[in-house]
Structure 1
């Protein structure tokens, strides 16, 4: 360990924590570039899922009342999502993860690019329980196969004119639970060495502090502005994911 590694870890944890506090997801999107500069991929990913869960719990607390008022809605996403994780892990053994990520990145780019430049966002209001379950299931599959559990739920939720707390009451718990399962799987594979645990301990304070700043900004955003933020995040996610796979 040296000062350069510590600096990159703290910077990455702060960047990931802020966006997680602001949007309810995206820790890997903003932190992974910092971590991969000084850490091997497995170690970087192992750290990210832990930080995503820890910072995500703060966001879950912020929208706890919205979660309580919409438990059935969350269950429609989460229960099928958990069932999809093992299938995703199985698919990973027969499909190249890089190809899968490139396909998802293209979907994010098309979706985010199209809606980012529309003056009015769609308002898909009627209840769609079966579609919610399918999106949750496919999110779990992508989480197990490529650590992209939030991609489809994010796109789906931006189509709904839900208040920002209700939208986050789906996205944040979904990602926290799926990534907690991912953490357990990585731990079973021995990913959390003594060095990795030390790095996580270094990263947690800056990640938590930055998440609080992001949450403060989230609380001040109007509902429409939050939907716009998610659309832009979809586009940015696609650009970063595709660039990472190409490079």
Structure 2
């Protein structure tokens, strides 16, 4: 098992499962932000009926499951076996949905499939070198296909490759994974440099009445 897989297995054990229903009483839904019942939904992906869609870093699978219930052919990949066990236990019965344990770039290079949309919600787009990942994604997107991802905005002055820490036991050092942080305009320039069009990067404010950070949401087309 790789260090990254160990780190994300550890993270998985610390995260609660998705709620049985959301505030509207729905059993599946799409959530781009770190806050419940906040922000846009699956419309950001602009998928055609029955479209093929890839979730890079699907975690416990809730977003991919929602797309499957909309009639999409949804594939979720994650490096963590623990995350995928949870995903399959809850959502594995859904038609049009499949999960694979894989690292993002390896999967994109090995698959023969092409996709109408590729997305990442606090997933592989945050934790993989974009200089390597963005070209690999573009190779698997159909012409005009949508790339969309979300993550925390960067801390001012802390850009590029940063360290994220995943806590363990009281007597253990935290696990470290790399993440890539950029301001919205830097993401727009980076995506344009890799041949993406219609690039838009914005920070969605946190829900009203809070003093917490917002969510960086980026969309582009191949």
Tell me the TM-score range normalised by the shorter chain.
Answer: under 0.3
TM score, norm. by length of structure 2: 0.24
Higher helix share goes to which structure?
1
Higher strand share goes to which structure?
2
Higher relative contact order (CA 8 A, sep 6+): 1
